[in-house]
Amino acid sequence: MKTDNAPCLENGEAFIDFSEFSPPTVPTNYEVIYVLTSGTNFIIEAVNTSTDFTVSSTGRFTVHTLVYNPATLDLGTVELGVTSAFAVNSLLIQGGGDICAALDLAGLPYDIETCTNLLPGGTLFPNPTQNYFRLRTPELYLMQQMDVTIYSANGQVVRTLRIEEPQAEEEFYVGDLPAGVYQLLIEGDQGGYRSARILKL
């Protein structure tokens, strides 16, 4: 697996997005599920069939891939926040048990920290938005060129704009972007950067 973003905790949430270098081999009657664990004890916090999770605290989190047969491995016995990935692994042949399944125990780790250099609340509005949003330009950028970059949730650049003479307020059109969460990054040519999330409806 590989990470598709660099998540940090903002307004009590961090969005983890990842992808597989190559899809796992899935035999007939088997399924793929992704497991999110916390800490060094790999306590299972969530499971998902898609390659994303949202966490609400800082710390070490790890994403694991599990290929299993629901007829032989009952995930209903997993108690979120209590059961560890080590406990599940012990049921599998690879961990000394008798169930045929594959759990990537090492997984993909994330060290979630609180976001820094955020734009103050109310700087972007309206947020959420459908078509346009306005930016109250921080004073730091009024006397220098300003680069604005918008990233999708998976870290891809979807829009870039250089503003030669920033005004007190700047307007941006995002009506052509798919609905979702985007990251706005503002950088000045003399240094400094700020970021914020935008929710596109």
Give me the pLDDT at residue 197, please. Answer: 85
Numbers of helices and strands, H then E, in the chain: 1, 15
Whole-number Å distance between alpha carbons of 180 and 128: 10
* Number of residues in the chain: 201
Count other Cβ atoms within 10 Å, centred on residue 57: 12
The dihedral formed by the CA atoms of 25, 37, 48 and 116, expressed in degrees to the nearest 10: -120
Is this structure's pTM higher than 0.85? no
| Backbone phi and psi for residue 144, each to the nearest 5 degrees, phi listed first | -150, 165
Buried b (16+ CB within 10 A) or exposed e, 36-54: bbbeeebbbbbeeeebbbe
Question: What does the pLDDT read at residue 97?
Answer: 97
What pLDDT shows up at residue 6? Answer: 66
For the record, the structure tokens of 201 come out as: 């409806």
Is the preceding omega at residue 70 within 30 degrees of 0, hence cis? no
Residue ranges for the chain with pLDDT beneath 70: 2-6, 191
Topology of domain 124-200 in CATH is: Immunoglobulin-like (2.60.40)
Q: What is the pLDDT of residue 4?
A: 55
- For the chain, the structural domain boundaries read 2-112, 124-200
Contact criterion met (CB below 8 Å) for 78 and 103? no
